[in-house]
Amino acid sequence: MICKDFGKLTAGVVINTTKPHAAKALEYLLSEMDKRKMPYLAESASALSAGLSGQGVTFSEMLSRAQWLIVIGGDGTILSAVRELTDLGIPILGINPGESFGFLAEIPYSEIPSALDNILSGRFDIEERATLSARFTTEEGIVKEERALNDLAFVRGLDARVVEMRVMVNGEYLTTYAVDGLILSTATGSTAYSLSAGGPVMYPGLDAFLLTPVCPHSLMNRPMIFPKGTAIEIENATIGRDVHISADGRVVLTLGMNERVSVSLEKSVKFLTTRQHSFTQKLRKKMGWQGGLKESEQDKFAK
């Protein structure tokens, strides 16, 4: 994307106040933005943690006035910010103040100045990341809807026994899983919980989502990838036990026996990337991939 006026738009800035070094990163960011005369609004708790008492605004006010969002923290901080967005059209730039393993906060502390320069020069892209929508209708006919950027996980709770989950694809019965849990993840979330459960890595721009069984009773139950437009229904077929549903790690729904939830790929969240780190580079670095090459050869091919 080439838009040299983008840096003149007001940025909302929020940090994870519990993260070490986040306040220091915020001070550094704002000083660099001041040097470049880039307008911003800091969220009140974030501003206070950086010693900027009285200079912040509420999160809702910040979102109503900002044209883009800068989030300082790990992936969990970004996921929390996404949950608060009513306008998914606001691009998000993630800044990692420390050594977070996550993939969403792409700009390290040391590269804040160069990232801002790239934005001012129009050297950036806007990537769209699909979200998952889970719809549940209560016995009273009330529809509850939850959104997840990374994943929806169907888990058994404190009971150690497996749960049985009946899955329908576009209205057609697929199978009944006897598992510790099921994970439905976006391409963005394929490097999170699903990856730990043996699921594949998907490039984040893919309009597809992934179903990964957790410790399936049958070894024939493997991860599956579904294209956008596929409607998945998951029913709790476990006798006498509930199944809990978490959206991006936060429990949001409980399915009783024979209750079901509908899941589909829905609206996208926009992320601002300054082209400083490709997804391929992130995979190689964060996963520690070396292959069978000697280190010197690996360095040569990485250049």
pLDDT digits (tens, 9 = 90+) for 185-233: 999 999 999 999 999 999 988 899 999 999 998 888 999 999 999 999 9
Q: Are 25 and 85 in contact (CB under 8 A)?
A: no
Round to whole Å and give the CA distance between 257 and 273: 44
C-beta atoms surrounding 149 within 10 Å: 27
- State whether residue 7 is helix, strand or coil: helix
Distance (Å, rounded) from C-alpha 148 to C-alpha 131? 6
The answer to pTM > 0.95 is: no
Output the pLDDT for position 3.
Answer: 59
Active-site residue flag, 75: yes
* DSSP H or E stretch at residue 270: strand 260-273
Q: Which CATH architecture is the domain 132-266 placed in?
A: Sandwich (2.60)
pLDDT at 293: 58
DSSP element (H, E) containing 120 = helix 112-120
CATH 2.60.200.30 range(s) for the chain read: 132-266
Whether residue 122 contacts residue 114, with contact meaning beta carbons closer than 8 Å, is answered with no
Mean predicted confidence (pLDDT) in 271-296: 78
| Adjacent-strand bridge partners of 227 | 208
The catalytically annotated residue of 75, 151, 180, 248 is 75
Phi, psi of 98 (to 5 degrees): -140, -130
Instruction: Please name which of 116, 118, 134 lies closest in space to residue 209, comparing C-alpha atoms.
Output: 134
Residues of the chain with CATH 3.40.50.10330: 6-124+274-302
| Three-state secondary-structure class, residue 84 | helix
Q: What is the mean pLDDT of residues 110-117?
A: 95
Question: Is residue 166 classed as helix, strand or coil in its secondary structure?
Answer: strand
| Cα separations in angstroms, 134 against 80, 131, 182, 266 | 17, 10, 14, 10
Taking only the tens place, the pLDDT of each residue in 242-278 is 999 999 999 888 999 999 999 999 878 999 998 777 8
Q: What is the mean pLDDT of the chain?
A: 88
**pLDDT at 1 (0 to 100):** 46
User: Mean pLDDT across the stretch 25-46?
Assistant: 94
Kindly state which CATH superfamily the domain 6-124+274-302 is placed in: Probable inorganic polyphosphate/atp-NAD kinase; domain 1 (3.40.50.10330)
Read off the pLDDT of each residue in 18-46 and give the average, rounded to a whole number: 92
- The pLDDT of residue 18 is above 80: yes
On the question of pLDDT at 303 being above 70, the answer is no
For residue 302 the two structure tokens come to 């990485």
Residue 65's CB is within 10 A of a number of other CB atoms, namely 12
